[in-house]
Amino acid sequence: MDFDLMITSLPKLLSATLVTLKLLSLSLFFGLFIGLLFAILRLNKNPIINKFAYGYSYVFRGTPLLVQIFIIYFGLGQVEYLRSSILWTVLKEPYWCAIIAFALNTGAYTSEILRSAFQTIKPGFIEAGRSLGISNRIIFYKIQIPIAIKQSLPAYGNEIILMLKGTSLASTVTLMDLTGVAKYIISTTFKPIEVFIVAGSIYLFMTFIIHNLIKYLEKKYSY
């Protein structure tokens, strides 16, 4: 066991952790909006809108995240129209390609979580709001959304942890996140076990924090 390597690689891995956390928070931020949008589309009674939203979540949940990143990073650059458009300033950066892929992926899972949360709200709550003469918009924001958030917290906590692990795929498109740097150190020193222990512990520590944060929020929002 090479303890010196473990100590000298720690600062490098910790600074790479910042990249991982940035990727995670941006993807979750955009993913939450995408998820909410598609959850609402899923609940729409129009069969075309409904099917479209279902298709989106089916495709993104049925294919590996790696394929999604590769299509966006390597594939979209091929489209002449995109290359000449303003979108290209974003799509040529591997950083943003990774975030787009992660956000679309987590958006698909989040939409499923939110949809089932909306569907499990007891009709009585909404009827109670209606009979009090509250407008549909306020029922949505003040009754449905808070209940849905509370219902979906445990599943969303799992999704955050899955996404944390998913950000490791950013290393396949040249980004130096925690896994990317770990791989670099492993391939230069040929000491996989030591590096795995340090990088793995950092990941486990983050999972631990997320897990407890969600537990705390669950307690806070319970009624």
**Coarse DSSP helix, strand, coil percentages of the chain, rounded to the nearest 5 percent:** 85, 0, 15
- The whole-angstrom separation of Cα 119 and Cα 15 is 42
Q: Which is nearer to other proteins, 150 or 165 (CB)?
A: 165
DSSP code per residue over 104-131:
HHHHHHHHHHHHHHHHTS-HHHHHHHHH
Tell me if 193 contacts other proteins by CB under 8 A: yes
Tell me if 152 contacts other proteins by CB under 8 A: no
Nearest to 169 by CA among 156, 184, 161, 179: 179
Nearest to 155 by CA among 63, 51, 39, 69: 39
Tell me if 104 contacts other proteins by CB under 8 A: no
Applying CB under 8 A, among 33, 196, 216, 221 the residue interacting with other proteins is: 196
- The whole-angstrom separation of Cα 72 and Cα 67 is 9
Applying CB under 8 A, among 85, 119, 135, 187 the residue interacting with other proteins is: 187
If one counts every other C-beta atom within 10 angstroms of the C-beta of residue 130, the result is 12
CB of 181 to other proteins, least distance (A): 11
Q: At what angle do helices 47-62 and 3-43 cross, to 10 degrees?
A: 160
Residue span 56-95 as binding mask against other proteins, x where in contact by CB under 8 A, dash where not: --xx--xxxxxxx-xx--xxxxxx----------------
CB of 155 to other proteins, least distance (A): 13
- The whole-angstrom separation of Cα 199 and Cα 197 is 6
| Window contacting other proteins (CB under 8 A); options: 7-15, 22-30, 55-63, 94-102 | 55-63
Residue span 6-45 as binding mask against other proteins, x where in contact by CB under 8 A, dash where not: ----------------------------------------
Cα dihedral value 132, 218, 207, 15, nearest 10: 70
CB of 182 to other proteins, least distance (A): 6
Q: Is the dihedral of CA 42, 47, 52, 54 positive or negative?
A: positive
CB of 208 to other proteins, least distance (A): 8
Applying CB under 8 A, among 139, 147, 179, 181 the residue interacting with other proteins is: 179
CB of 28 to other proteins, least distance (A): 16
Q: Which residues bind other proteins (CB under 8 A)?
A: 58-59, 62-68, 70-71, 74-79, 161, 164-169, 171-172, 179, 182-183, 186-187, 190, 192-193, 196, 199-200, 203-204, 207-208
